[in-house]
A and B are shown apart, each in its own frame.
Chain A
Amino acid sequence: MVIVVGKKGIKLPFVGKDKFADLMKAGLGYDRVTRTFYIQSLDYADRLKATLSEIFKDDIVFAQICLICGKVFPCNECEFFNDCKSNDYPSYCICKSCIEKPKLFNLYADKSKKFIGYR
């Protein structure tokens, strides 16, 4: 399993011009400074996943980052996996241990404030 952390710092093996174009079309962006890829858009998330899968010759799972504790985890560990309409694209979420914490909403609101740059 290759975990691709959403957003930045994705290192890919050398890809030819065609594959590069495919990747750009599928929503990847390239940062010339760090020489890594990042996910620009998830409009074509499935295509992106399939293209990356071909490149890595491997299965791709996108990483989720727990907003509360910062843990990185894949979607399929979550009890809501089958019912989540937004599953398996790289994003922020709540990991299975944090879900059981009391006053979850307040925890979330606190962390969210910092994250989004609210005051």
Chain B
Amino acid sequence: MTTVNSLSQQAVMWVEKYRPQTLDEVIGNEEAKAMLISWLKNWKPGSKPALLYGPPGIGKTTLVHALAKTFSYDLIETNASDIRTAEKILHVAGHAAFEDSLLQHFLGFKGTIILFDEVDGIHGREDAGGLEAIIKIITQAKVPIILTANDVSDPKFRELKNQCLSIQFFRVRPPLIMALLERICEMENVKYEKEALKILAKVSGGDVRSAINDLQAIYERSGKITIEDVKVLSPRDREITIQKALEELFLSDDIERVKRILNEVNVDYEIFLQAIHDNLPYQYKNLEDLASAYDKLSMADIFLGRMKRTQNWSLLKYVIEEMSMGVNLSRKGKYTPIGFKFPPSKLILMARTKLTREVLDKISSLIGKQCHVSRQRAIRDFIPFLRVIFENNPAEAKKFASWFNFTEDLSSYLSGKSRGFIKK
């Protein structure tokens, strides 16, 4: 894909502009990439096709494009929203699949790769044997074939999986996403705070596409990416926006709908839990409803805690039920929808106060070592008294600072000179 240079800078979407062109620019899934490259390098007629499977938004399709470009392959692509019936597939892919491409060899192309994108989007009847047709082609083809899918756990894909080299892809991890966002900022000459990029990486849920879209949305609104700017993300075009999801969760009368909300919104349930907690008091202004809803949210959090500690993932359904239906059914009053805050304030708060927390951590560690107490105890039983001393008697404070080995910044915190309090 090339950038559209006839349009103004403003109109260019960063997800397009920074779409990886070469393999090393595709972030994440190193082992999967290595497997794919090795597969292609060693490919010969009779080799199995490659099946790339994993959640959407992580770059499977982009990777295949980059792969083809890097190794000078021509790419024929058919997509789930596109051609579907057996004949159509055979028609599009058939020629390349069954004929040797002498001309292409001549022109310096190694050949053709056929890409069947999102094969799990094939549905039974309308796609008249789409899956069967694909299996037929891939077992007869004389060119490398790559298939992508989101979820192939359904038994109907078993035959397909047997015929392929299956390569699993995972959601991209936040550090990598952060690195990518940083690069984009540098190339776009955008002022940024690293902590703000970390928040975007955290909220992305491993979806590179949405992370870049978030970045651009904020830049277009604020001209820079600081923690303050990241506070409110504008609604994004996902299956269903977070605004909509929160609104339905809080206010819908259709309980069946509420039950399914989390399946339809592309947000991690833990982040969504924080978002509900964040916005609840603004939406349920009546204390009766607020308290009832919070009781349910508290239950959701308890199930979450148990689930994480015992690794018993079957508890997840209770987490989701309590935080969606439980909250919704607590509503007795009538409310008008408000504009919701996202990402959750807690992430913002954590980013803003990172320095303070590090200072507290250092102080309590030093106290802990000298006085044989834990950091928690140091915070509870020592720091309040040290603050009294440091605030009121700097001369005495020096002795303590020296004995504990406090650096200047730590002493400043205790004396109140720099505490970075959150504003009231």
Q: List residues of chain A with CB under 8 Å of any chain B CB.
A: 7, 41-43, 46, 49-50, 67, 78-80, 82-87, 89, 91-94, 99-100, 104-106, 108-110, 112-113, 115-119
Q: What residues of A have a CB within 8 angstroms of the CB of B194 in the complex?
A: 100
Report Cα–Cα, A81/B268, bound state, in Å: 13
Q: What residues of B have a CB within 8 angstroms of the CB of A84 in the complex?
A: 173-174, 206
Most buried by B among A82, A104, A116: A116
Pairwise interchain contact A91-B23, C-beta atoms closer than 8 A: no
Q: Residues 30-64 of chain B: 1 if any A CB is under 8 Å from the residue's CB, otherwise 0?
A: 11011001100100000000000000000000000
Q: What residues of B have a CB within 8 angstroms of the CB of A87 in the complex?
A: 173
Pairwise interchain contact A112-B30, C-beta atoms closer than 8 A: yes
Pairwise interchain contact A46-B311, C-beta atoms closer than 8 A: yes
Q: Which of A50, A91, A108, A110 is B311 in contact with, Cβ under 8 Å? A: A50
Pairwise interchain contact B173-A116, C-beta atoms closer than 8 A: no
Report Cα–Cα, A113/B23, bound state, in Å: 8
Pairwise interchain contact A118-B179, C-beta atoms closer than 8 A: no
A69 to chain B, nearest CB (A): 13
Given contacts A85-B268, A109-B24, A109-B25, contact A115 B34 (CB under 8 A): yes
Q: Which of B24, B203, B206, B311 is A112 in contact with, Cβ under 8 Å? A: B24
A26 to chain B, nearest CB (A): 14
| 14 A-B pairs (CB sep. < 8 Å) | A78-B175, A83-B270, A86-B171, A86-B173, A89-B170, A91-B170, A91-B173, A94-B175, A99-B175, A112-B30, A116-B33, A117-B34, A117-B41, A118-B24
**A-B contacts, CB under 8 A, total:** 98
Pairwise interchain contact B30-A92, C-beta atoms closer than 8 A: yes
Report Cα–Cα, A83/B257, bound state, in Å: 26
Q: Is the C-beta of B172 less than 8 angstroms from some C-beta in chain A?
A: yes
Closest Cβ neighbor of A83 among chain B residues: B202
Report Cα–Cα, A112/B25, bound state, in Å: 9
Closest Cβ neighbor of B187 among chain A residues: A105
Most buried by B among A93, A94, A110, A112: A112
B143 to chain A, nearest CB (A): 21
Q: What residues of B have a CB within 8 angstroms of the CB of A112 in the complex?
A: 24, 27, 30, 33
Q: Is the C-beta of B70 less than 8 angstroms from some C-beta in chain A?
A: yes
Pairwise interchain contact A117-B37, C-beta atoms closer than 8 A: yes
Closest Cβ neighbor of B25 among chain A residues: A109
Q: Is the C-beta of B246 less than 8 angstroms from some C-beta in chain A?
A: no
Q: Which of B37, B153, B179 is A104 in contact with, Cβ under 8 Å? A: B179
Q: What residues of B have a CB within 8 angstroms of the CB of A94 in the complex?
A: 173, 175-176, 179
Report Cα–Cα, A113/B203, bound state, in Å: 28
A39 to chain B, nearest CB (A): 10
Q: Which of B31, B70, B153 is A118 in contact with, Cβ under 8 Å? A: B70
A100 to chain B, nearest CB (A): 8
Report Cα–Cα, A116/B178, bound state, in Å: 21
Q: Is the C-beta of B276 less than 8 angstroms from some C-beta in chain A?
A: no
A61 to chain B, nearest CB (A): 12
Pairwise interchain contact A118-B23, C-beta atoms closer than 8 A: yes
A41 to chain B, nearest CB (A): 7
Closest Cβ neighbor of B35 among chain A residues: A116
Report Cα–Cα, A109/B21, bound state, in Å: 12
Closest Cβ neighbor of B22 among chain A residues: A118
Pairwise interchain contact B33-A49, C-beta atoms closer than 8 A: no
Closest Cβ neighbor of B174 among chain A residues: A80
Report Cα–Cα, A9/B311, bound state, in Å: 26
Q: Is the C-beta of B205 less than 8 angstroms from some C-beta in chain A?
A: yes
Pairwise interchain contact B311-A105, C-beta atoms closer than 8 A: no
Contacts A79-B198, A86-B171, A91-B170 aside, 14 further interface pairs with beta carbons under 8 A come to A46-B311, A80-B174, A83-B202, A83-B271, A84-B173, A85-B170, A94-B176, A108-B176, A109-B25, A113-B23, A116-B24, A116-B37, A117-B38, A119-B70
Q: Which of A80, A116, A119 is B201 in contact with, Cβ under 8 Å? A: A80
- Contact residues, B177-192 vs A (CB, 8 A): 178-180, 182-183
Q: What residues of A have a CB within 8 angstroms of the CB of B171 in the complex?
A: 85-86
